[in-house]
Amino acid sequence: MISFEAISGHNMADIMIRKRKRMRSKEIKALSKELEEAMGVPVFSEDDPVDMAESSDYNVIYVGQDILGIVYDGKATLTVRGVLKYKPVRKYVTVDMGAVPFVTNGADVMGPGITDAEDSIEEGDMVWIRDVKNLVPLAIGIALRPASELKSKAGGKAIKSLHYAGDKLWKTGE
**151 Cα distance to chain centroid:** 21
| Under 8 Å between Cβ of 39 and 78 | yes
Strands of 112-174, DSSP E: 114-117, 126-131, 137-143, 157-164
Strands of 26-156, DSSP E: 50-55, 59-63, 66-72, 75-78, 92-95, 109-110, 114-117, 126-131, 137-143
**What are the backbone angles phi and psi of residue 101, rounded to the nearest 5°?**
-60, -30
- Residue 55 region by backbone torsions, left for phi larger than 0, else alpha for psi between -120 and 50, else beta: beta
pLDDT digit string (tens) for the chain, length 174 residues: 443 333 333 344 567 888 999 999 999 999 999 999 999 999 999 999 999 999 888 999 999 999 999 999 999 999 999 999 999 999 999 999 999 999 999 999 999 999 999 999 999 999 999 999 999 999 999 999 999 999 999 999 999 999 999 998 998 877
Residue 9: the pLDDT is: 36
| Under 8 Å between Cβ of 122 and 144 | no
User: What is the 8-class DSSP label of residue 18?
Assistant: E
Instruction: Collect all residues with Cβ–Cβ distance below 8 Å to 7 and sequence separation of at least 6.
Output: none
For 136, the 3-state DSSP assignment is coil
Residue 7: the pLDDT is: 36
Q: Secondary structure of the chain: what % helix, strand, coil (to 5)?
A: 25, 35, 40
Residue 57: the pLDDT is: 82
Q: Which helix (H) or strand (E) holds 39?
A: helix 25-39
Length in residues, the chain: 174
| Under 8 Å between Cβ of 81 and 173 | yes
Please give the Cα distance from 133 to 69 (Å, whole number): 25
Residue 56: the pLDDT is: 82
